[in-house]
Structure 1
Amino acid sequence: MIRVLLVDDQLLMREGLRKLLEIEPGIEVAGAADDGVEALDLLDRLPPEHYPHVALIDVRMPRMNGVELVARLREEHPDVAPVMLTTFDDDDFIFGGLRAGAQGYLLKDIAPDQLVDAIGRAARGETVLGGPAAERVVAALRGLPDEPARDDEPAPLSDREFEVAQLVGEGASTRDIARKLHITTGTAKNHISSCLRKLGLRDRTQLAVWAVQHTGEA
Structure 2
Amino acid sequence: MIQIGIIDDKSLNRKVIRQNLQEYSEVQIVLEAANGHDFLEQLTHLKIEDQPKLVLVDLDMPGMNGIDTIAIAAIKYPAIKFLVLTIFDDDDKIFNAIKAGASGYLLKDDAPLLLIDAIHNAYHLNGAPMSPAIARKTLQLLKSANHLEHSRLDKTSPIENLLSDREQEILKLLVEGFDYKKIASLLFISPQTVRTHISRIYEKLHINSKAQAILLAHKYKRQQ
TM-score normalised per structure 1: 0.83
Q: CA deviation at 1:214?
A: 6.4
Instruction: Name the CA distance, whole Å, in 2 between partners of 1:92 and 1:197.
Output: 17
Larger RCO (alpha carbons 8 Å, 6+ apart): 1
Instruction: Name the CA distance, whole Å, in 2 between partners of 1:43 and 1:59.
Output: 19
Aligned to 1:206: 212
Unaligned runs of at least 5 residues, structure 1 = none
Aligned to 1:136: 137
Q: CA deviation at 1:201?
A: 3.0
Aligned to 1:20: 20
Q: CA deviation at 1:85?
A: 0.6
* Contact 1:30 1:52 (C-alpha < 8 Å) held by counterparts: yes
Q: Deviations over 1:118-173 (max 9, x none)?
A: 111121321122133222221121122242556xx975254513324315xx484x
Root mean square deviation, CA, Å: 2.7
Judged with a 3 Å threshold, the aligned counterparts in structure 2 of structure 1 residues 183 and 125 are, in CA distance, closer, same or farther, namely farther
| Secondary structure in structure 1 of the residue aligned to 2:44 | helix
Does residue 1:165 correspond to 2:174, yes or no?
yes
Q: CA deviation at 1:175?
A: 4.7
Instruction: Name the CA distance, whole Å, in 1 between partners of 2:45 and 2:96.
Output: 28
| Secondary structure in structure 2 of the residue aligned to 1:98 | helix
Judged with a 3 Å threshold, the aligned counterparts in structure 2 of structure 1 residues 6 and 212 are, in CA distance, closer, same or farther, namely farther
Instruction: Name the CA distance, whole Å, in 2 between partners of 1:176 and 1:131.
Output: 34
Q: In structure 2, what residue type is equivalent to 1:39? A: F
The percentage of counterpart residues that share the same residue type is 30
Q: Answer 1 or 2: which has greater helix percent.
A: 2
Q: CA deviation at 1:212?
A: 5.5
Instruction: Name the CA distance, whole Å, in 2 between partners of 1:107 and 1:37.
Output: 23
Q: How does 1:177-188 map to 2 (within 5 A)?
A: 177-179=183-185, 181-188=187-194
| Secondary structure in structure 2 of the residue aligned to 1:23 | coil
Instruction: Name the CA distance, whole Å, in 2 between partners of 1:214 and 1:79.
Output: 32
Q: In structure 2, what residue type is equivalent to 1:125? A: N
Judged with a 3 Å threshold, the aligned counterparts in structure 2 of structure 1 residues 38 and 55 are, in CA distance, closer, same or farther, namely same
Instruction: Name the CA distance, whole Å, in 2 between partners of 1:129 and 1:180.
Output: 36
Q: CA deviation at 1:49?
A: 2.1
TM-score normalised per structure 2: 0.81
Aligned to 1:95: 95
Aligned to 1:118: 118
Instruction: Name the CA distance, whole Å, in 1 between partners of 2:120 and 2:221.
Output: 30
Judged with a 3 Å threshold, the aligned counterparts in structure 2 of structure 1 residues 106 and 179 are, in CA distance, closer, same or farther, namely farther
Deviates more, 1:14-23 or 1:140-149: 140-149
| Secondary structure in structure 2 of the residue aligned to 1:32 | strand
Q: How does 1:51-130 map to 2 (within 5 A)?
A: 51-123=51-123, 124-130=125-131
